[in-house]
Amino acid sequence: MLSLENTQATTESKLAQKNRILLIEDEDLIRDMVMVALEEEGYEVHTANNGRAAVNMLQSSKLTKAQLIPDLIILDLMLPEINGLDICRLLRYQGDITPILVISAKSSETDRVLGLEVGADDYLTKPFSMRELVARCRALLRRQRYSSSSSSSPTAVQSYRDISLFTQECRVMVRGIEVNLSPKEFRLLELFMSYPRRVWSREQLIEQVWGADFLGDTKTVDVHIRWLREKLEEEPSQPEYLITVRGFGYRFG
Ligand code: CA
Protein backbone atom coordinates (compact mmCIF):
# COMPACT_ATOMS: atom_id res chain seq x y z
CA MET A 1 0.00 0.00 0.00
CA LEU A 2 2.73 2.37 1.03
CA SER A 3 4.83 1.56 -2.01
CA LEU A 4 1.83 2.12 -4.29
CA GLU A 5 1.34 5.59 -2.83
CA ASN A 6 5.02 6.32 -3.28
CA THR A 7 4.88 5.30 -6.91
CA GLN A 8 1.92 7.55 -7.49
CA ALA A 9 3.65 10.46 -5.77
CA THR A 10 6.76 9.97 -7.90
CA THR A 11 4.74 9.91 -11.11
CA GLU A 12 2.87 13.02 -10.10
CA SER A 13 5.98 14.95 -9.17
CA LYS A 14 7.37 14.13 -12.59
CA LEU A 15 4.20 15.47 -14.19
CA ALA A 16 4.48 18.51 -11.96
CA GLN A 17 7.62 19.61 -13.77
CA LYS A 18 5.51 20.96 -16.56
CA ASN A 19 3.44 23.14 -14.26
CA ARG A 20 4.09 26.79 -13.57
CA ILE A 21 2.80 28.40 -10.38
CA LEU A 22 2.48 32.10 -9.63
CA LEU A 23 2.76 32.76 -5.90
CA ILE A 24 1.39 36.12 -4.76
CA GLU A 25 2.34 36.75 -1.13
CA ASP A 26 3.76 39.83 0.61
CA GLU A 27 5.21 38.12 3.70
CA ASP A 28 8.80 37.22 2.83
CA LEU A 29 9.05 34.27 5.20
CA ILE A 30 5.89 32.54 3.95
CA ARG A 31 6.71 33.31 0.33
CA ASP A 32 10.17 31.76 0.66
CA MET A 33 8.90 28.68 2.49
CA VAL A 34 6.15 28.04 -0.04
CA MET A 35 8.47 28.63 -2.95
CA VAL A 36 11.05 26.17 -1.63
CA ALA A 37 8.40 23.53 -0.93
CA LEU A 38 6.92 23.83 -4.43
CA GLU A 39 10.27 23.88 -6.18
CA GLU A 40 11.22 20.71 -4.35
CA GLU A 41 8.15 19.13 -5.95
CA GLY A 42 9.44 20.12 -9.36
CA TYR A 43 7.13 23.07 -10.02
CA GLU A 44 8.35 26.21 -11.72
CA VAL A 45 7.55 29.02 -9.28
CA HIS A 46 7.23 32.73 -10.05
CA THR A 47 6.53 35.22 -7.26
CA ALA A 48 5.00 38.63 -6.73
CA ASN A 49 5.08 40.48 -3.40
CA ASN A 50 2.22 42.92 -3.92
CA GLY A 51 -1.09 43.04 -5.76
CA ARG A 52 -0.13 45.53 -8.43
CA ALA A 53 3.05 43.68 -9.36
CA ALA A 54 1.00 40.47 -9.65
CA VAL A 55 -1.63 42.04 -11.91
CA ASN A 56 1.08 43.59 -14.10
CA MET A 57 2.85 40.25 -14.36
CA LEU A 58 -0.35 38.47 -15.32
CA GLN A 59 -1.44 41.04 -17.89
CA SER A 60 1.96 41.27 -19.55
CA SER A 61 2.35 37.49 -19.64
CA LYS A 62 -0.94 37.35 -21.53
CA LEU A 63 0.04 40.07 -23.95
CA THR A 64 3.58 39.17 -24.77
CA LYS A 65 4.83 35.94 -23.25
CA ALA A 66 2.23 33.22 -23.52
CA GLN A 67 4.83 30.77 -22.20
CA LEU A 68 4.79 32.55 -18.82
CA ILE A 69 1.06 32.18 -18.20
CA PRO A 70 0.71 30.26 -14.90
CA ASP A 71 -1.13 26.94 -14.57
CA LEU A 72 -2.05 27.76 -10.98
CA ILE A 73 -2.13 30.89 -8.85
CA ILE A 74 -1.55 30.87 -5.08
CA LEU A 75 -3.02 34.05 -3.72
CA ASP A 76 -2.75 35.75 -0.35
CA LEU A 77 -5.76 37.98 0.45
CA MET A 78 -4.20 40.79 2.49
CA LEU A 79 -1.82 42.36 0.00
CA PRO A 80 -0.50 45.88 -0.49
CA GLU A 81 -1.83 47.96 -3.43
CA ILE A 82 -4.45 45.54 -4.79
CA ASN A 83 -5.93 42.96 -2.43
CA GLY A 84 -6.34 39.30 -3.24
CA LEU A 85 -10.12 39.36 -3.58
CA ASP A 86 -9.91 42.12 -6.18
CA ILE A 87 -7.24 40.21 -8.12
CA CYS A 88 -9.48 37.17 -8.12
CA ARG A 89 -12.50 39.20 -9.25
CA LEU A 90 -10.50 40.88 -11.99
CA LEU A 91 -9.16 37.61 -13.41
CA ARG A 92 -12.57 35.96 -13.45
CA TYR A 93 -14.17 39.06 -14.96
CA GLN A 94 -11.63 38.82 -17.78
CA GLY A 95 -12.61 35.20 -18.36
CA ASP A 96 -9.36 33.83 -16.95
CA ILE A 97 -10.04 30.33 -15.61
CA THR A 98 -6.60 29.60 -14.10
CA PRO A 99 -7.16 27.70 -10.82
CA ILE A 100 -6.68 29.91 -7.77
CA LEU A 101 -5.74 28.66 -4.30
CA VAL A 102 -6.30 31.34 -1.67
CA ILE A 103 -4.01 31.30 1.36
CA SER A 104 -5.05 33.65 4.10
CA ALA A 105 -4.79 34.36 7.80
CA LYS A 106 -8.44 35.34 7.67
CA SER A 107 -10.16 32.22 8.84
CA SER A 108 -13.78 33.16 9.40
CA GLU A 109 -16.44 31.38 7.42
CA THR A 110 -17.38 34.63 5.62
CA ASP A 111 -13.85 35.14 4.29
CA ARG A 112 -13.74 31.60 3.09
CA VAL A 113 -17.11 31.91 1.37
CA LEU A 114 -16.25 35.31 -0.09
CA GLY A 115 -13.00 33.94 -1.51
CA LEU A 116 -14.84 31.13 -3.22
CA GLU A 117 -17.65 33.42 -4.35
CA VAL A 118 -15.31 35.73 -6.25
CA GLY A 119 -13.96 32.74 -8.10
CA ALA A 120 -11.20 31.10 -6.04
CA ASP A 121 -11.11 27.30 -6.37
CA ASP A 122 -9.80 26.41 -2.94
CA TYR A 123 -8.96 28.08 0.36
CA LEU A 124 -6.26 27.31 2.89
CA THR A 125 -6.06 29.07 6.27
CA LYS A 126 -2.69 30.18 7.67
CA PRO A 127 -0.77 28.65 9.26
CA PHE A 128 -0.76 25.56 7.08
CA SER A 129 1.70 22.74 6.55
CA MET A 130 3.70 22.60 3.34
CA ARG A 131 2.49 19.04 2.82
CA GLU A 132 -1.11 20.26 2.87
CA LEU A 133 -0.33 23.09 0.48
CA VAL A 134 1.45 20.82 -1.99
CA ALA A 135 -1.43 18.33 -1.86
CA ARG A 136 -3.99 21.07 -2.61
CA CYS A 137 -1.89 22.38 -5.51
CA ARG A 138 -1.55 18.91 -6.93
CA ALA A 139 -5.31 18.34 -6.69
CA LEU A 140 -6.15 21.63 -8.41
CA LEU A 141 -3.70 21.01 -11.22
CA ARG A 142 -5.03 17.48 -11.69
CA ARG A 143 -8.60 18.75 -11.84
CA GLN A 144 -7.59 21.35 -14.41
CA ARG A 145 -5.83 18.73 -16.56
CA TYR A 146 -8.93 16.61 -16.43
CA SER A 147 -11.33 19.40 -17.36
CA SER A 148 -9.17 20.77 -20.17
CA SER A 149 -8.72 17.34 -21.72
CA SER A 150 -12.41 16.49 -21.48
CA SER A 151 -13.68 19.76 -22.94
CA SER A 152 -12.64 19.14 -26.54
CA SER A 153 -15.64 17.25 -27.89
CA PRO A 154 -19.23 18.27 -28.22
CA THR A 155 -19.13 20.67 -25.29
CA ALA A 156 -19.34 24.38 -25.86
CA VAL A 157 -15.61 25.14 -25.93
CA GLN A 158 -13.24 24.74 -28.84
CA SER A 159 -9.58 25.40 -28.17
CA TYR A 160 -6.55 25.54 -30.38
CA ARG A 161 -3.22 26.68 -28.95
CA ASP A 162 -3.90 30.15 -27.46
CA ILE A 163 -7.43 30.53 -28.85
CA SER A 164 -10.59 29.35 -27.07
CA LEU A 165 -14.01 29.77 -28.60
CA PHE A 166 -17.11 29.46 -26.42
CA THR A 167 -19.81 28.48 -28.88
CA GLN A 168 -22.88 29.10 -26.77
CA GLU A 169 -21.65 32.31 -25.21
CA CYS A 170 -20.32 33.68 -28.53
CA ARG A 171 -17.08 34.63 -26.80
CA VAL A 172 -13.49 34.22 -27.89
CA MET A 173 -10.39 34.35 -25.70
CA VAL A 174 -6.98 34.91 -27.25
CA ARG A 175 -3.91 34.48 -25.04
CA GLY A 176 -6.16 34.81 -21.99
CA ILE A 177 -7.83 38.04 -23.10
CA GLU A 178 -11.35 38.34 -24.48
CA VAL A 179 -11.56 39.76 -28.01
CA ASN A 180 -14.64 41.25 -29.64
CA LEU A 181 -15.63 39.65 -32.92
CA SER A 182 -18.47 40.67 -35.21
CA PRO A 183 -21.10 37.92 -35.78
CA LYS A 184 -19.60 37.11 -39.20
CA GLU A 185 -16.06 36.96 -37.85
CA PHE A 186 -17.28 34.68 -35.08
CA ARG A 187 -19.06 32.35 -37.50
CA LEU A 188 -15.99 32.24 -39.72
CA LEU A 189 -13.66 31.39 -36.82
CA GLU A 190 -16.10 28.80 -35.48
CA LEU A 191 -16.18 27.10 -38.88
CA PHE A 192 -12.39 27.11 -39.20
CA MET A 193 -11.91 25.76 -35.67
CA SER A 194 -14.44 22.98 -36.26
CA TYR A 195 -12.31 21.68 -39.14
CA PRO A 196 -8.65 22.33 -38.29
CA ARG A 197 -6.29 22.27 -41.30
CA ARG A 198 -9.11 21.81 -43.78
CA VAL A 199 -8.65 24.06 -46.81
CA TRP A 200 -11.68 26.20 -47.70
CA SER A 201 -12.18 28.06 -50.96
CA ARG A 202 -13.59 31.58 -50.77
CA GLU A 203 -16.81 30.35 -52.39
CA GLN A 204 -17.22 27.62 -49.76
CA LEU A 205 -16.67 30.13 -46.97
CA ILE A 206 -19.25 32.49 -48.48
CA GLU A 207 -21.76 29.67 -48.68
CA GLN A 208 -21.15 28.50 -45.10
CA VAL A 209 -20.96 31.88 -43.39
CA TRP A 210 -22.91 34.35 -45.53
CA GLY A 211 -25.35 31.91 -47.14
CA ALA A 212 -25.79 30.77 -50.75
CA ASP A 213 -27.88 33.82 -51.66
CA PHE A 214 -25.12 36.29 -50.72
CA LEU A 215 -24.73 38.84 -53.51
CA GLY A 216 -21.35 40.40 -52.69
CA ASP A 217 -18.09 39.10 -54.10
CA THR A 218 -15.41 36.87 -52.64
CA LYS A 219 -13.26 39.89 -51.65
CA THR A 220 -15.57 40.03 -48.61
CA VAL A 221 -13.89 36.86 -47.37
CA ASP A 222 -10.41 38.37 -47.70
CA VAL A 223 -11.48 41.46 -45.80
CA HIS A 224 -12.92 39.40 -42.95
CA ILE A 225 -9.84 37.20 -42.81
CA ARG A 226 -7.71 40.33 -42.50
CA TRP A 227 -9.84 41.63 -39.64
CA LEU A 228 -9.72 38.25 -37.90
CA ARG A 229 -5.95 38.09 -38.25
CA GLU A 230 -5.64 41.51 -36.64
CA LYS A 231 -7.61 40.22 -33.66
CA LEU A 232 -6.09 36.74 -33.36
CA GLU A 233 -2.55 36.81 -34.61
CA GLU A 234 0.46 38.14 -32.75
CA GLU A 235 1.91 39.15 -36.14
CA PRO A 236 -1.02 39.65 -38.55
CA SER A 237 1.43 39.88 -41.48
CA GLN A 238 2.89 36.47 -40.58
CA PRO A 239 -0.22 34.53 -39.54
CA GLU A 240 0.08 31.33 -37.54
CA TYR A 241 -3.63 30.56 -37.30
CA LEU A 242 -5.35 31.75 -40.47
CA ILE A 243 -3.13 30.55 -43.25
CA THR A 244 -3.44 31.51 -46.92
CA VAL A 245 -3.28 28.47 -49.19
CA ARG A 246 -2.20 30.00 -52.49
CA GLY A 247 -4.51 29.17 -55.37
CA PHE A 248 -7.07 27.51 -53.07
CA GLY A 249 -8.19 29.69 -50.18
CA TYR A 250 -7.62 29.50 -46.45
CA ARG A 251 -7.09 27.02 -43.68
CA PHE A 252 -6.91 27.21 -39.88
CA GLY A 253 -3.81 25.89 -38.08
CA1 CA B 1 -0.47 39.29 3.49
Ligand 1 center to 246 CA (angstroms): 57
Q: What is the mean pLDDT of residues 195-219?
A: 87
Is 173 found in the same domain as 114?
A: no
What confidence tier does 155 reach under pLDDT thresholds 50, 70, 90? very low
* pLDDT reading at 18 higher than 60: yes
Is 180 found in the same domain as 118?
A: no
Report the distance separating Cα 240 and Cα 233, nearest Å.
7
Ligand 1 center to 186 CA (angstroms): 42
> How high does pLDDT run on average in the chain?
84
What confidence tier does 183 reach under pLDDT thresholds 50, 70, 90? confident
Q: Tell me the DSSP string of 90-127.
A: HHHHTT----EEEEES--SHHHHHHHHHTT-SEEEESS
Ligand 1 center to 222 CA (angstroms): 52
Residue 1 lies in a domain: no
Residue 3 lies in a domain: no
**Where is average pLDDT lowest: 4-13, 54-63, 191-200?**
4-13
Do residues 111 and 77 lie in contact, with contact meaning Cβ atoms separated by under 8 Å? yes
The DSSP code for 200 is B
Ligand 1 center to 19 CA (angstroms): 24
Ligand 1 center to 106 CA (angstroms): 10
Ligand 1 center to 72 CA (angstroms): 19
pLDDT in tens, 20-78: 999 999 999 999 999 999 999 999 999 999 999 999 888 877 666 655 789 999 999 99
pTM of the model: 0.54
Residue 201 lies in a domain: yes
Is 197 found in the same domain as 127?
A: no
Ligand 1 center to 213 CA (angstroms): 62
Please say which residue of 119, 147, 175 terminates a domain. Answer: 147
Q: How much is the pLDDT for 194?
A: 86
Ligand 1 center to 77 CA (angstroms): 6
Q: What 3-state DSSP class applies to 170?
A: coil
Ligand 1 center to 243 CA (angstroms): 48
Ligand 1 center to 78 CA (angstroms): 4
The residue range of the domain holding 133 is 11-147
Is 193 found in the same domain as 162?
A: yes
Q: What is the mean pLDDT of residues 176-202?
A: 90
Q: How much is the pLDDT for 177?
A: 84
Q: How far is CA 182 from CA 67, 74, 141, 170, 172, in A?
A: 28, 36, 34, 10, 11
Report the distance separating Cα 210 and Cα 217, nearest Å.
11
Q: What is the mean pLDDT of residues 142-152?
A: 60
Q: What is the mean pLDDT of residues 130-156?
A: 72
